[in-house]
Amino acid sequence: MERNSDVQPIVRTVIMKLLRYTLFLFLAILLSTQVQAQDQIQWMKFEEAIAANAKSPKMILVDVYTDWCGWCKKMDKETFVDPSVVAHLQKNFYAVKLNAEDTNRKFEFMGKTYSEAEMAAAMRVRSYPNFVIIEPGLQNIAQLPGYRPAPEFLAGLNDLVKKAFGVKQP
């Protein structure tokens, strides 16, 4: 009987340590997921960006890509995860992903129905990756084609916005 009473405090201590460790691990995973979500570009669908722009006007950056485009994938893996690019896009743009070959997904824009492929064609995109900037009034667009590492992407984007729309960005 004495042996059993000696084991109980040890078992209780081990269980408490396991519970603390599990709780700590759970909290660490939860916090890292929240931090990661803030460090990513919040990509939208085209119509979501138009709706958000109607409530709070900002320029819209449309990343026009294809599934087979290696340079598009390189932009996603390298440029669009760079903290300076993420911060700049989150602050100044509604970011949209648009698949130039998707003929199935349809949406409304200015009284007309478009597939993603039709919208890419309407924006005269012919190479990938291609970044279409739409000013908040939704009347003018400009294009920034081609793969660029983060510093060149930001410089090219700022230069294009300044020349096309007369807007200087921070």
The pLDDT value recorded for residue 25 is 60
Q: Are 130 and 148 found together in one domain?
A: yes
* 131 touches 157 (CB < 8 A): yes
pLDDT band at 168 (very low <50, low <70, confident <90, very high): confident
Q: Are 74 and 134 found together in one domain?
A: yes
Q: Are 27 and 46 found together in one domain?
A: no
Virtual torsion, Cα 30, 31, 32, 35, nearest 10 deg: 130
Q: Are 87 and 145 found together in one domain?
A: yes
Average pLDDT in the 73-101 region?
A: 98
Q: CA neighbours within 13 Å on the CB side: how many for 4?
A: 1
Q: C-alpha distances in angstroms, 95 versus 28, 57, 85?
A: 29, 13, 11
Q: Are 12 and 82 found together in one domain?
A: no
The pLDDT value recorded for residue 12 is 73
For residue 12, give its domain range: 1-38
The pLDDT value recorded for residue 20 is 75
* 153 touches 79 (CB < 8 A): yes
Q: Tens of pLDDT along 19-74?
A: 676 665 655 565 544 444 458 999 999 999 999 999 999 999 999 999 999 999 99
Q: CA neighbours within 13 Å on the CB side: how many for 45?
A: 11
Non-local (6+) Cβ contacts of 26 within 8 A are none
Q: Tens of pLDDT along 71-84?
A: 999 999 999 999 99
Closest among 81, 135, 123 to 98, alpha carbons compared: 123
The pLDDT value recorded for residue 111 is 95
Closest among 114, 111, 131, 130 to 122, alpha carbons compared: 114
Task: Flag whether 170 is in a domain.
Answer: no
Measured CA to CA, the distance from residue 134 to residue 10 in angstroms comes to 66
Tell me the pLDDT of the chain averaged across its residues: 88
Closest among 96, 86, 89 to 50, alpha carbons compared: 96
The tally of domains found in the chain comes to: 2
